[in-house]
């Protein structure tokens, strides 16, 4: 199954990339927060989007599902993912997003990063959290070290905030800045 989110038509200022390739937004979302931000980023920069899905989901009871998810994150588990059809070679700039579970990135994102040789890319990291992002960004950078990290940002419960539009505006502005940074750091020969 392919979980690509098509570009939605909104009246926004379109960011033009100096690179020929579109960015890719990859994210996992359990409660919808990271999907909300990931789709906002994709819309802002006309990116392709891939929502990761695990083959075996967590229980639907909120307390139990969050406990089990946190436990899986602490143990460093990597679940099997639903099949997807995306070529990372077709994208120079990757936005990678995750909810924060027990101060860590999710097992689904860990599995995605482990299963691909991600090297020589421009990477922007984002997360959604209830408490704090912990050391998730550092752990993600360590998992895919041979890349240029152009930025990172966290969003505290964006769909549960008093004004989700503020989170959307912040995500879009940040995404445009990441595209700008990525294009400035690429030389004419494509070297960083």
Is a pLDDT exceeding 80 seen at residue 74? no
| Res 18: pLDDT | 41
Q: Quick one: pLDDT at residue 6?
A: 44
d(CA 16, CA 70): 39
Residue with tokens 């993912």: 81
Please tell me the distance from the alpha carbon of residue 39 to that of residue 22, in angstroms, as a whole number: 15
* Residue 64's pLDDT band (cuts 50, 70, 90): low
Q: Which of 52, 65, 156 has the alpha carbon at shortest distance from 97?
A: 52
The model scores a pTM over 0.85? no
pLDDT per position as a tens digit, 118-167? 999 999 999 999 888 888 999 999 999 999 999 999 999 998 877 889 99
pLDDT digits (tens, 9 = 90+) for 173-184: 999 999 999 888
Please count the other Cβ atoms lying within 10 Å of the Cβ belonging to residue 57: 10
Domains and CATH numbers, the chain: 24-184 (3.40.50.360)
Write down the pLDDT at residue 5. Answer: 44
Partners of 97 in beta bridges: 27, 126
Q: What is the pLDDT of residues 5-62, one digit of tens each?
A: 444 433 333 444 444 478 999 999 988 899 999 999 999 999 999 999 887 776 577 7
């Amino acid at each position: 199954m392919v979980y690509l989110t098509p570009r939605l038509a909104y009246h926004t200022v379109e960011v033009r990339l100096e690179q020929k390739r579109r960015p890719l937004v990859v994210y996992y979302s359990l409660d919808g927060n990271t999907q909300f931000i990931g789709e906002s980023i994709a819309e802002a920069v006309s990116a392709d989007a891939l929502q990761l899905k695990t083959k075996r989901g967590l229980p639907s009871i909120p307390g139990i599902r969050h406990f089990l998810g946190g436990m899986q994150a602490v143990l460093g588990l990597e679940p099997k993912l639903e099949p997807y059809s995306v070529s990372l070679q077709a994208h120079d700039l990757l936005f990678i997003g995750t909810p924060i579970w027990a101060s860590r990135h999710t097992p689904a994102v860990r599995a995605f990063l482990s299963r691909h040789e991600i090297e020589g890319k421009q990477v922007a990291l984002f997360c959604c959290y209830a408490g704090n992002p912990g050391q998730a960004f550092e752990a993600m950078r360590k998992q895919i070290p041979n890349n240029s990290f152009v930025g990172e940002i966290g969003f505290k419960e964006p769909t549960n905030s008093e004004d989700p539009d503020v989170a959307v505006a912040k995500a879009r502005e940040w995404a445009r800045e990441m595209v700008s940074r990525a294009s400035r750091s690429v030389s004419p020969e494509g070297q960083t």
